[in-house]
Amino acid sequence: MLIKANKRSSVPDWATRWESRSKLIAAISYTFTAISLTHIVSIFIAYLLALTTLFLMNIPIKLLLQRYLIISPFLLLMTVPLFWSFQHQQSIFALILLLKAFTSMTVLTIILETQTLDQLMSGLLGFHIPPTLITILVLSYRYVFLLLDDVQRMLTAIKSRLFHGGIRFKSLKIYGQLMAALLVKAFERSEHMYEAMTARGFTGSLPITSTAIITKQDGLKTVISILIIAALIIIDKRVNL
């Protein structure tokens, strides 16, 4: 259930030793600030800053691109019609949506790759979030990758049977059958998973370690993040004048 150590082996100590609660405060504040920005210039700066932080933490760009692929289908559904209109204002709005989504995913990747899942759970518990809700979040994070693996296997299977996709009526029918099969498989897996966890003494929440102490260094890192957030807000207000 923990993030593997080899994923974090190249991440510098100043990132991995940043206490989870203070790191979450900085990340959540930055994400909400990026979402609330209104001008494309300030949003682009926010994205570049998040990307720079990711590079400084030695997180592989390939991993980030894989995370982008997860949200790309939803972004395409929202932005392609806006780009297709060939109107300047709507195209800018679509670009803003993309930048905000990529900024949020970049920050999320930083959070997930600079600490173990146990540390993240401990940080969430430090905010007095109910353990049951934390358990749901952790299990959702764990099994979304299994769901993606199932989707990939299904796509490989239908391609091996010379299925070429498209938006024809026959193709849509096959897509519907695949979605139904995926839903049934996910339901069956959840049943088996619950039975296996119950057999191992699962009582509704995962065991979580106690929260660590926030040091002066942790507070300094969070303060620097808040100052950067304040600078972004100031830039956004000035470019809108």
The confidence band for 188, taking pLDDT boundaries of 50, 70 and 90, is: confident
pLDDT tens-digit series, residues 83-100: 777 788 888 999 999 999
The separation between CA 224 and the C-alpha centre of its own chain, rounded to angstroms, equals 23
Neighbouring C-beta atoms of residue 111, cutoff 10 Å? 18
What is the predicted pLDDT for the residue at 3? Answer: 40
Cβ pair 33, 46 in contact under 8 A: yes
**Higher-scoring residue by pLDDT: 87, 209:** 87
Return the minimum-mean-pLDDT range out of 2-11, 40-49, 133-142, 161-170: 2-11
Residue 166: predicted pLDDT: 61
- What is the percentage of the chain residues whose pLDDT exceeds 70? 93
- In a 10 Å sphere around its CB, with 0-12 CB exposed, 13-18 middle and 19+ buried, how is residue 176 labelled? exposed
Q: Please say if the pLDDT value at position 53 is more than 80.
A: yes
Model pTM?
A: 0.74
Three-state secondary structure readout of the chain: CCCCHHHCCCCCHHHHCCCHHHHHHHHHHHHHHHHHCCCHHHHHHHHHHHHHHHHHCCCCHHHHHHHHHHHHHHHHHHHHHHHHCCCHHHHHHHHHHHHHHHHHHHHHHHHHHCCCHHHHHHHHHHCCCCHHHHHHHHHHHHHHHHHHHHHHHHHHHHHHCCCCCCCCHHHHHHHHHHHHHHHHHHHHHHHHHHHHHHHCCCCCCCCCCCCCCCCHHHHHHHHHHHHHHHHHHHHHHHHCC
Instruction: Check residue 73 and give its pLDDT.
Output: 79
Question: So where are the chain's domains?
Answer: 5-127+214-239, 131-199
Average pLDDT, the chain: 84
**Per-residue pLDDT at 4:** 41
